Amino acid sequence: MTMRILMALDGSEHALRAIDYLLRLRAAVSDLEVHLLNVQVPLESGHVRMFVSHDDLQEYYREQGQAALKEGRERLEQAGMACTVHVAVGHSAETIAHFAHQRGFDTIVMGSHGHTGLGHLLLGSVTSEVIRLSDIPVTVVK
């Protein structure tokens, strides 16, 4: 039976450690389906929309998301592990939990801290919120 894993990545060192965890997990679970997700925080200022078209803004989100996923995707591909990449826009924790639930993933894997983790010494704020919001298991990699 295939284990479907959603890995939330923001390009931080903690997120990349989660990639290393996944590569070790592959030795124990032979049939993994891996999806990488980066969530871009929306630019909500009305002033931005006055000067930037909707299409340009969507392209910006896509480019930034792909850049955040690049190193993780490359590490998996170099190890011979296929993955599917996704970029979403929204509140990070809510978007991750909703995406995982809607698409029927078995688990979410994420680093203990991301780029916004400085305010929470024990566990990053996004990670904490995903744990609270998710109805599926969340594996946190320190």
Q: Tell me the three state secondary structure of residue 116.
A: coil
The tally of domains found in the chain comes to 1
Q: Tell me the three state secondary structure of residue 87.
A: strand
Residues 6+ apart with CB under 8 A from 42: 89, 90
In the predicted structure, residue 119 carries a pLDDT above the cut 80: no
Q: Which range, 9-13, 68-72, 121-125, is most confident? A: 68-72
**Boundaries of domain holding 47:** 3-141
Backbone angles phi, psi at 32, to 5 degrees: -110, 140
Task: Pick 117 or 33 by higher pLDDT.
Answer: 33
List the CATH number of the domain containing 62: 3.40.50.620
Write out the DSSP string of 9-26: --SSHHHHHHHHHHHHHH
Per-residue confidence (pLDDT) for residue 100, from 0 to 100 = 98
Q: Report whether 94 contacts 133 (CB < 8 A).
A: yes
